[in-house]
């Protein structure tokens, strides 16, 4: 069955930063059509048509439960509508026996996670789909039919595949291998697959995976927005007739892709390391696969090989793109005109994806035949290993060993797959329950009652997922870096983190947590303020603790019952708070005097406009009264006088509007510069510290440049000047800084692991 990839786009509301900057919306929608407007080029419009265009920018109201529903008469698309159109289609395909896949794509912060996972009462596609699966199973009335559901969750980060149902500390360092079998197709060797029999079971797995993802990001000092997450739900519909069993097998892949990075061609010139960045590689490879498939579907270059093997991500998703699968891509859009280039790039990506064609087939395979075919394939591999087909002839000893090792790995992978298939569903269910119980027993914090420290993450979905309980004094919660035999309770890495960085203890009598700084002098901050050596600091609920260059924590006392703590205090706010408190950047939040001045200017403009409108109305009334008493000649003179007066007032009004627009543009420009500076300064500091640690004479300094828009207006631009031995060698945009900082962190981790550090840097 040939079917095109379905594509939906969804635009989110302005975020707080965009509202503070008085952002303009550059997106509009009409039915299936999405229009993006370049406001800097005299309303230059580009139009796209998709299967679904969801307007979620405004027009909503918050119910008492916290759910966002459409206001009367609005076009707002809520979570239920998105699931009804997109998620329901994925489930329907799976129920018919097809494999199904849903991608979420878009730049960081565009709203992918909100659509896929959701927050609070506004559940996303994944939790609603999981509920719907078991609701449908419960409605089954056929005694000959039963259902088996299993779930897995993985992450692709830096070209490594990680099992998110395994604690980061026990994972293989290089990640898991992707393998291919004629019987099983493409699969991940050693990936945990948990059997479940309820929605609660899947929810526990997703929560566990999300928690492990956050722990992994914390341990590795990794950037979570650069990781691709895949939740896979395997559905077996088992029919038993006359003692014989048949299966209809479907796999649903729910894919949250990493944030598509900002595209700045001029800054990429000469940036050779950018080509080696594994994060860029995955999304770039995905784009190449989509382009190749779109060309083939259009009849162009039919002999072209689709480059699935260019990255781990495309290898994993090979079946979802151009294979036997029904696929939907959901693209998240930012509405702000400041993100015009990135949003246009997303729309073009989506427009290309809708041209891809898949060839879905119903997957009905008797279990016994599958097992037999697996055994046969395994025997062929053993014969290959023994050299019966002469495959190893003519190879060197080293090459032969590599070939043998690879065949041994494939045999083990097949044996494990065979062993798993021969288990009954009940056995799998019991094993899953034991695994879940073991994970729960590993020191889970009762966040509803126990005072604890929770990790803030740049990805709001991961904030609050990892918690560390404060022990009662004299016990201590040690935070720091592993070194030799020393392993702290909270193990961190990266710059500015020391083995015995600091410790916390809870005084139950006084109901107070005390923080003591040990080795982490100059790298420990509470609510932005630096804490001195050996100083005892009392912490209260809501306090922000920043350690080193990239770690932020929130102190939580559940008894104080503030469910919005994580909404009030974010990762970015905590790091920016340090920069502001230490005087490294001007406070982004305006002072009371600035707010009053802004209010006065706005009020003055409003009064001037009202005065003009009154004067115009009074003059019109005066002319009307005079015209009633005047002769024809006099009326003609009055009409001419009225026309001239009206034109003069209109010119004054337009000039006043132009002045106000220029003032607002200048004010917005100033706010954008301040906000960008506050955002990039922690990264600039970290980059300089990495350069110093690696003994490289580079220095990064924020700088400014002026550019002109297509309408001739001046606009400020924040750059990062890169100096080598005091000489300017590069100027980076904030987007390029993000990419380079990722590479620098990776280089630093490899440097720490290297024994011959001098040789490593040569």
Return d(Cα 90, Cα 83) in angstroms, integer.
Answer: 9
Tokens coding 46? 């580009």
DSSP 168: G
* 37, 41, 47, 710 from 44: Cα distances, Å: 5, 6, 10, 11
Q: Which two tokens stand for residue 573?
A: 């706010």
120 is in an annotated binding site: no
3-state secondary structure of 396: coil
In order, the DSSP letters of 492-530 are E-STT--TT-EEEEEETTTTEEEEEESS-TTSEEETTEE
434 annotated ligand-binding residue: no
Q: Is 66 annotated as a binding residue?
A: no
Judge contact between 761 and 695, C-beta under 8 A: yes
Q: Is 106 annotated as belonging to a binding site?
A: yes
The values of phi and psi at residue 673, to 5°, are: -65, -45
463 is in an annotated binding site: no
| 596 in a known ligand binding site | no
CA-nearest of 639, 632, 490, 645 to 552 is 490
What secondary structure letter does DSSP report for 585? Answer: S
Query: 607: annotated binding-site residue?
Result: no
Nearest CA among 471, 541, 532, 472 for reference residue 502: 532
Coil vs helix vs strand at 7: strand
| Pairing verdict, β 477-481 and 490-492 | parallel
Cα separation values, 466 from 98, 237, 443, 536, Å? 37, 36, 11, 25
Is 214 annotated among the ligand-binding residues? Answer: no
Q: Is 31 exposed, middle or buried (0-12, 13-18, 19+ CB in 10 A)?
A: exposed
Report long-range pairs for 656-665 (Cβ below 8 Å, ≥24 apart): 656/605, 656/608, 656/609, 656/612, 660/605, 662/713, 663/601, 664/22, 665/713
> Residues with Cβ < 8 Å from 248, sequence gap 6 or more?
97, 236, 237, 239, 362, 363, 364
User: Omega into 641 within 30° of 0, i.e. cis?
Assistant: no
Q: Which residues are annotated as a binding site for ATP?
A: 106-113
Which segments are annotated as binding site?
106-113
């Amino acid at each position: 069955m040939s079917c095109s990839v379905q594509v939906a786009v969804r635009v989110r509301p302005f975020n707080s930063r965009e509202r503070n900057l008085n952002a303009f919306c550059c997106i509009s929608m009409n039915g299936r059509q999405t229009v993006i407007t370049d406001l800097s080029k005299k309303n230059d419009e580009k139009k796209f048509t998709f299967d679904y265009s969801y307007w979620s920018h405004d027009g909503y109201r918050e119910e008492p439960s916290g759910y966002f529903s459409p206001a009367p008469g609005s076009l707002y698309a809520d979570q239920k509508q998105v699931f009804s159109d997109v998620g329901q289609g994925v489930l329907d395909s799976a129920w018919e026996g097809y494999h199904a896949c849903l991608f979420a794509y878009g730049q960081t912060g565009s709203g992918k996670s909100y659509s896929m996972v959701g927050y609070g009462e506004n559940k996303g596609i994944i939790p609603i789909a999981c509920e719907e699966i078991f609701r449908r199973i419960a409605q089954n009335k056929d005694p000959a039919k039963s259902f088996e559901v299993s779930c897995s969750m993985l992450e692709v980060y830096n070209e490594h595949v990680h099992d998110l149902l395994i604690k980061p500390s026990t994972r293989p360092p290089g990640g898991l291998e992707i393998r291919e079998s004629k019987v099983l197709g493409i699969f991940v060797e050693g990936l945990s697959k948990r059997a479940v029999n309820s929605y609660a079971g899947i929810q526990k797995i997703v929560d566990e995976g999300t928690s492990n993802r956050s722990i992994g990001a914390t341990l590795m000092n990794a950037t979570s927005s650069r990781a691709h997450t895949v939740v896979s739900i395997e559905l077996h519909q088992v029919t038993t007739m006359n003692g014989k069993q048949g299966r209809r097998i479907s796999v649903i892949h729910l894919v949250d892709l990493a944030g598509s990075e900002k595209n700045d061609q001029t800054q990429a010139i000469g940036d050779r390391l950018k080509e080696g960045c594994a994060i860029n590689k995955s999304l770039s490879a995905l784009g190449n696969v989509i382009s190749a498939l779109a060309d083939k579907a259009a009849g162009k270059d039919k002999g072209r090989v689709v480059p699935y093997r260019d990255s781990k991500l495309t290898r994993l998703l090979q079946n979802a793109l151009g294979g036997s699968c029904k696929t939907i891509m959901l693209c998240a859009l930012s509405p702000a005109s400041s993100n015009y280039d990135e949003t246009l790039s997303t729309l073009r990506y989506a427009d290309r994806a809708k041209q891809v064609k898949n060839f879905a087939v119903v997957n009905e395979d008797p279990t016994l035949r599958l097992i037999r075919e697996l055994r046969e394939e395994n025997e062929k591999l053993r014969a290959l290993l023994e050299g019966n087909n002469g495959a190893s002839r003519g190879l060197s000893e080293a090459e032969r060993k590599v070939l043998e090792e690879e065949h041994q790995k494939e045999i083990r992978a097949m044996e494990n797959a065979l062993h798993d298939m021969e288990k009954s569903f009940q056995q799998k269910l019991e094993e899953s329950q034991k695994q879940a119980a073991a994970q729960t027993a590993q020191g889970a914090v009762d966040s509803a009652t126990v005072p604890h420290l929770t990790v803030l993450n740049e990805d709001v979905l991961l904030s609050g997922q990892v918690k560390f309980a404060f022990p009662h004094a004299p016990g201590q919660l040690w935070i720091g870096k592993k070194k030799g035999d020393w392993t702290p309770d909270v193990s961190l890495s990266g710059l500015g983190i020391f083995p015995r960085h600091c410790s916390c203890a809870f005084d139950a009598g006084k109901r107070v947590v005390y923080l003591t700084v040990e080795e982490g002098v100059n790298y420990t901050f509470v609510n932005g303020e630096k804490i001195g050596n050996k100083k005892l600091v009392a912490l209260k609920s809501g306090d922000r603790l920043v350690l080193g260059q990239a770690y932020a924590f929130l102190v939580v006392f559940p008894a104080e019952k503030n469910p919005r703590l994580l909404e009030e205090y974010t990762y970015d706010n905590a790091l920016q708070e340090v920069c502001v408190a230490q005087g490294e950047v001007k406070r982004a939040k305006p002072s009371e005097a600035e707010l009053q001045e802004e209010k006065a200017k706005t009020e003055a403009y409003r009064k001037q406009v009202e005065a003009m409108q009154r004067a115009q109305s009074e003059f019109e009334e005066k002319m009307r009264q005079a015209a009633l008493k005047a002769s024809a000649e006099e009326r003609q003179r009055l009409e001419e006088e009225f026309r001239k007066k009206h034109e003069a007032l209109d010119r004054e009004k337009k000039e006043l509007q132009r002045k106000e627009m220029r003032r607002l543009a200048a004010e917005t420009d100033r706010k954008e510069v301040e906000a960008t500076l506050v955002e990039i300064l922690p990264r600039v500091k970290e980059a300089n510290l990495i350069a110093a640690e690696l003994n490289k004479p580079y220095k990064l300094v924020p700088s400014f440049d002026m550019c002109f828009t297509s309408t001739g207006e001046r606009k400020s631009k924040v750059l990062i000047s890169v100096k080598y031995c005091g000489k300017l060698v590069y100027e980076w945009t904030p987007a390029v800084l993000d990419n380079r900082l990722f590479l620098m962190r990776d280089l630093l981790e490899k440097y720490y692991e290297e024994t011959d550090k001098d040789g490593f840097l040569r």
